[in-house]
Structure 1
Amino acid sequence: MKYPKLVPERVCTTPCTVYRTDGLNRDGSKKRTVIFEGKCFHSEKARQKLSAEKQLITLSGEALFCGDIAPDSPIIDGAVEIGGREYKIYGSEKAKNPDGTVNYTRLELI
């Protein structure tokens, strides 16, 4: 069965690059690898969220992607570069269809 795309390709117009930070380089800086380079739907909406440590965190927006941008990992962490500005990934969500395939990916940005 074919399911509707909740984030269609036609609304993904903002060029972006998603980086995963894992491990350290020789100089002690974090190693960055590109996991996605393409277009997304970027929404700059500030909102506040309470963390597990009861700290108030201000999110600066979110990025929506059509489909699964990182099929090899269930959790996406690292950074996103959109329009020359770099955002840190606070949370990620992969919305799934009833058959288990990923419909869209949502990243919460700080």
Structure 2
Amino acid sequence: MPPAVCCTPCTVVLTGAEGEDGAPQVLAELSLACNWQDKPRQELDAERRLITLSGTALFDGDIAPDIEILAGTLTLYGRSWVIYRGTKCRNPDGSVNFTRLEVR
């Protein structure tokens, strides 16, 4: 994903395992630019429930090199979404080309 097409400002809050108080621990809070693709669609989750995905945010490179599982929230246009699936799309040499966050 070329940086020239990532021009929509957003905030990504990545969370991890639950802390002592039962709330998810905040691993990183990032202010980034993304390429937002607003494409609502429906999918079945692991429990065979129908969920509606709102769109996809694409980022240049690896937004969180130290974090394996991308979970948390994405705030864009004054609205917040839950990250349903995070993918680090890799080049043949193993480096990360771009990061994709699908939200609901």
On whether the aligned pair clears a TM of 0.5, the verdict is yes
Does the 8 Å contact 1:13/1:39 carry over to 2? yes
Which structure carries more strand by proportion? 2
Give the alignment of 1:58-73 within 5 angstroms: 58-73=52-67
The CA distance in 2 between the partners of 1:55 and 1:96, in whole Å, is 30
SS at structure 2 position matched to 1:10: helix
Which consecutive unaligned segments of at least 5 residues does structure 2 have? none
Does the 8 Å contact 1:18/1:80 carry over to 2? yes
Which consecutive unaligned segments of at least 5 residues does structure 1 have? 1-6
Does the 8 Å contact 2:56/2:100 carry over to 1? yes
> Which position in structure 1 is the counterpart of 2:97?
103
For normalisation by structure 1, the TM-score amounts to 0.84
For normalisation by structure 2, the TM-score amounts to 0.89
> Which position in structure 1 is the counterpart of 2:12?
18
SS at structure 2 position matched to 1:58: strand
C-alpha RMSD of the superposition: 1.6
The CA distance in 1 between the partners of 2:84 and 2:25, in whole Å, is 18
The CA distance in 2 between the partners of 1:31 and 1:70, in whole Å, is 15
Q: How many residues align?
A: 103
The match for 2:70 among 60, 70, 76 is 76
Query: Identical aligned pairs, as a percentage?
Result: 48
> Which position in structure 2 is the counterpart of 1:43?
37
The match for 1:87 among 45, 69, 81 is 81
